[in-house]
Amino acid sequence: MNIKDTKMEKTMVLTIDGRLDSSTSGVLEKKFLAMMENGENNFVVDFTGMDYISSAGLRVLLMVAKKTKKIGGKIVLSALNPNVKEVFDIAGFTGIFTIFASREEAIQAF
């Protein structure tokens, strides 16, 4: 997994490539927590290059959603490929997260 973060106005955009699973989810969790400690509270997660997500990855996203809500922020997702979208559908996460077709649309949500 590769994570690239970019500050876009008042939003942090994280572009994730590869697999988000039990062996990589801890890296993403630490990244989010460090950014929140530095005052960031609005996030766009761009899934354009992600080809797999496991329950461990879903757990990290749910944790971030809860923490950002507590501090007055939010997290939105963009560009889920069909396989990743199916995992979100099965887990019931499409009702929890706001999901946009593109990164640009997600950034506009802020």
User: 83-103 pLDDT, tens per residue?
Assistant: 999 999 999 999 999 999 999
Domains of the chain, first to last: 2-108 (3.30.750.24)
pTM of the model: 0.92
Would the pLDDT of 77 be above 90? yes
Structure tokens at 109: 């949500």
Would the pLDDT of 9 be above 90? no
Task: Determine the length of the chain.
Answer: 110
> 3-state SS of 5-20?
EEEECCEEEEEEEEEE
- Helix 55-70 to helix 25-37 angle, to the nearest 10 degrees? 10
Task: Please state, in angstroms and rounded to a whole number, the distance separating the CA atoms of residues 59 and 24.
Answer: 12
- Rg (C-alpha) for the chain, rounded Å, is 12
